[in-house]
Amino acid sequence: MDDRIIKTEYSDVMQKSYIDYAMSVIIARALPDVRDGLKPVQRRTLYDMYELGIRHDRPYRKSARIVGDTMGKYHPHGDSSIYDALVVMTQDFKKSLPLVDGHGNFGNIEGDGAAAMRYTEARLEQVTQLALLADLDKNVVDFVPNFDETETEPAVLPARFPNLLVNGAEGIAVGMATSIPPHNLAEVIDAAKAYMLNENISTKELMNHIKGPDFPTGGIVINKDDLAEIYETGTGKIKIRGKVEIERGKNGKTNLVITEIPYPMIGANIAKFLSDVAALYESKRTQDIVDISNQTSKEGIRIVIELRKDADIDNFTNLLYKRTRLEDTFGVNMLAISHGRPETMGIKAIIRENVDFQYEVAKRKYTTLLEKEREKKEIQEGLIRACNVIDLIIEILRGSKDRNMAKACLVEGKIDSIKFRSKESKIMATQLNFSEKQANAILEMRLYRLIGLEIEALINEHEETIANIYRYEDILDRKDAMVQVLVNELDEIKKKFGRPRRTVIENRAEAVYEEKKIEEMEIIFLMDRFGYAKTIDMPTYERNKEAADSENKYVLPCKNTGRVGIFTNTGQLYTIKVLDLPFGKFRDKGIPVDNVSNYNSEKETIVCITSQTSLNLYRLLFVTRLSMMKVVDGGEFDVAKRTVAATKLMEGDEVIDVEILDEQRNIVLRSAAGFFLRFPVEDIPEKKKGAVGVRGMKLNPGDTVDAVYYTRNTVDTVIEYNGKNMELNRLKLGKRDSRGVKVRK
């Protein structure tokens, strides 16, 4: 037993296992092959459809049948990955050249998913048959065993053009990812032809044919000058903008219509774009938007933004480019499998790999065709010779006892046991020397082939076969002849399936948005007892002053360009931009302050609300439940952060009062046990916001401060305590950090 135990380092086993797993994902799942531009699941799905006979000129078949057959024969990794690959290959908004013709709901550009595979149907596109699957019966590629070695599948499809560039690719492997943009078929074919005619062509010269990416969604590539380096190295970033048109709307308004979107926006990002545009208006970054609607249909993208009459259209368009995904970036990483390993390549390397592969495919194809034509020539020559001595052959057949005897005579001239009518026939029979294949063809020949026209057709067919042999030998012997054949095939594909470019390639300056300066003005902040806040202008407040003061818990003047600060019992300061609050009519409901700040009304209590203007002008006095006090310069709270620690609290303590100090002269603390302490505000020292403060009142064990009052000189301050009115100005003036006076009930 001990002899069968192999001792090794655990780390070595893990490292080897992980590398094996990673390479399996990279090679067999996630990355495309540079030769045909397909991932294994795509290749297997297309080949399975080809084997099932689901051609472009035949009826559609259920997607579930295709998925099930592919999974059972070639790709045992679950049906969802196969169906997802099938769906993507049908979508003309993702693929520059769809490879599958889908019938039914295969999703849309707005991100809605495809229907279940039991509802949809599919068949191969014509281009897929002609340019990816043709000649598989001519030994043009290697076939390998499938996962259980019960079937064979092509290791790669015989692609006639650089499909990796035409349709692009996206995939995430282990430790690496590929992201290749789609390109125009006609341009890629022209580049491949240029490389065939001059293998020393540079990337820059190839770009005379390939202008840049050609996304199915159109759009505008705005960094043309960066493309040369991207196509040389295979990595970089492409900046894309949507296409915007201007239409005149109703009542003199202007409609901004987006007819093409950046390629990365397809799917759920269209809805994200719409919400981002709405957020621009809600955040008051722009007031030019009147309405926005998505009118996208089968005819194409159409997103309409209705603008105000006086809107600066160029400035607003630049705002969309800066703040939304109307301008986006496509990260390029041209990573693909080359010679069994992942490699990042520029467009020249990709085209070179595909062209070399086309040479190999053509060589194998014409070698196979040449062998077949030579076999055909041999048989044709035998049949022609047989027609010239047909009487002798008939005599041999009639005189032979069986097929083998007749065949031996035709091949070797053996005449044993064969009965002839004359000695001349017997002598001529001994001179026959047909080959095995010729003899079999003669023995299987039907009598109608002896008709004069049939013999003439046989001779013509023989001449055609000789011409084919000469042509195939010429193609195999001379590279320029093979190049011409490949160029002709590419021209045919270009003529049949090429289309005009959709994406515009140019250089454009970076979008610059100039924010309109907001005219500063005094407004009134209103917040009711339910936490709903809004702002109104001064004239509106003056007209509704009595109602505003009675219906709202907080009423304070502020500037429309400033901020409002909320101090809570937890010692936090939450700031709100006044522009984030709705501004308008007095009877508008407003919005919860929770929506425009980090304040949580379920966990915290508001102690004080003030404007940034007041904070900058005055000092603040803090009082806590455990009688800790301090004065802080309000300027310390002039911060841009939405949440700031306004004070430091001891364990179990909380803030019960924050007051802006103006004309207050004395402060009165009241404890839960009924002690009152009145002392001058000047006795409270000024501290930093991060300090705990000093004790304001000595408390008995278990006692806490539960109320704070302020008095002014010459102004009587009266409160109600235990059902009786109490004048705070008459309390004896004491000292800070004393017990105060016990007030009897």
Q: How far apart are CA 387 and CA 113, in angstroms?
A: 67
Report residue 260 CA to chain centroid gap: 17
Q: How far apart are CA 652 and CA 636, in angstroms?
A: 25
Which amino acid is it at 684? I
| Token duo for residue 593 | 């302050």
Q: How far apart are CA 436 and CA 411, in angstroms?
A: 7
Any idea of the CA torsion for 352, 357, 358, 360, to the nearest 10 degrees? Answer: 130
Residue 708 CB neighbour total at 10 angstroms = 17
Q: For tokens 């009542």, what's the residue? A: 251
> 114: number of CA atoms within 13 Å, CB side?
23
DSSP assignment of 553-582, as one string? SEEEEEETTSEEEEEETTSEEEEEEGGGS-
Q: Which of 18, 119, 574, 721 is catalytic?
A: 119
Residue 157 CB neighbour total at 10 angstroms = 26
For the chain, the distance separating the N- and C-terminal CA atoms, rounded to the nearest angstrom, is: 93
Sheet with strand 327-333: strands edge to edge: 169-172, 177-180, 327-333, 235-241, 220-221, 504-505
| Token duo for residue 46 | 């297309």
Q: Catalytic: 710?
A: no
Q: How far apart are CA 224 and CA 230, in angstroms?
A: 10
SS3 annotation, 305-371? EEECCCCCHHHHHHHHHHHCCCEEEEEEECEEEECCEEEECCHHHHHHHHHHHHHHHHHHHHHHHHH
Instruction: Find the angle CA(41)-CA(47)-CA(48) to the nearest 5 degrees.
Output: 85
Catalytic residues: 119
